[in-house]
Amino acid sequence: MNDQLVVYTVLVGDGFALPDTVPTAGVEYICFTDNPDLPSNGWTLKRISPLFPSDLIRSSREPKIRPHRCLQDYSRSLYIDTRVQLTDDPNLIWNDLISSDDVSFGGFYHSFRESVAAEFASVRDLNLDDPGRVKELQTMYETHLPEILKQRPVWGGILARRHNAVECIEAMEIWWAHVLRYSRRDQLSLVLALASIPPETLNVLTGDNHKGDHFYWPTTTERPVRYFDHRSSVGPMQAIRRALKNFEKTYLRPVLKGGKSKLRK
């Protein structure tokens, strides 16, 4: 198992550029992308195929949420959004977030959303996802887990994980299941997923998401319209067929042949 820190990001689709790296001894930078022409800007590019060709956002969430699948040869990972710019040695952020050997998940609270309920309101107001999916998730919380709506959301821009730890894997699988079943706006379900982690293995800090001690965000305020458009021009059944075909090509065939899926190193 490689114990060096790997900083990684995910860039699926077009219209984005990679942030600058901060070259540091013993730190590797990896970007999972479907764009073969993407300027690397200091990152090692790992080619992936979108799991859902007509839903690039949800496709990008898989490696973000499940580093235990795509980085299984590493023990420590620091995920950063493509619009987060590190300004210092990433080990400094790691040490802040993973504050002891017991901690397996570290992150930051959302600094300008007071509650998960406020995050729901923002997603609706900005039309960032299918309103039906968003409402369905909120209704589930209201019915079964109303306390979740009162909690401060955890920001998804920087995530530090000992991603092969059992409790971390279990929480990330819960998170991924909810992103598939409900809204692809992953901050809406991260608090729920983290509720499964023993408190002593979780470390979430307060601070300004826009400007931390070792980073700033966003690097740009521009967002590609197509990437954030939840209205697909592809019919539902056609989209499902494409997704299943891509899943078979990317995951099932390599496994059946004794190889590795494209998301594995």
Please state the three-class secondary structure of 72-92 as a single string: CCEEEEEEECCCCEECCCHHH
The type of residue at 123 is: V
pLDDT more than 70, % of the chain:
83
pLDDT at 261 over 60: no
Mind listing the pLDDT tens digit for each residue in 80-94?
Answer: 999 999 999 999 999
pLDDT of residue 220: 75
Give tens-digit pLDDT for 138-159: 999 999 999 999 999 999 999 9
Q: For 100-123, what is the mean pLDDT?
A: 97
Give tens-digit pLDDT for 187-246: 999 999 999 999 999 999 999 999 999 999 998 766 666 555 665 444 444 444 555 555
Q: What is the pLDDT of residues 158-182, one digit of tens each?
A: 999 999 999 999 999 999 999 999 9
Phi/psi region, residue 135 (left: phi>0; alpha: psi -120 to 50; beta: rest), is alpha
Q: pLDDT above 90 covers what percent of the chain?
A: 79
pLDDT for 253? 55
Q: What's the pLDDT score for residue 14?
A: 85
CA–CA separation, 146 and 140 (whole Å): 9
| CATH code of the domain occupying 2-235 | 3.90.550
Identify which of 170, 22, 206, 3 has the alpha carbon closest to the alpha carbon of residue 97. Answer: 206
Q: Who has greater pLDDT, 224 or 77? A: 77
Delimit the domains of the chain by residue range.
2-235
At residue 264, does pLDDT exceed 50? no
Is there a contact between 103 and 203 (Cβ–Cβ < 8 Å)?
yes
Q: Looking at the predicted structure, is the pLDDT value of residue 46 above 60?
A: yes
DSSP letter at 265 equals -
Q: What is the mean pLDDT of the chain?
A: 89
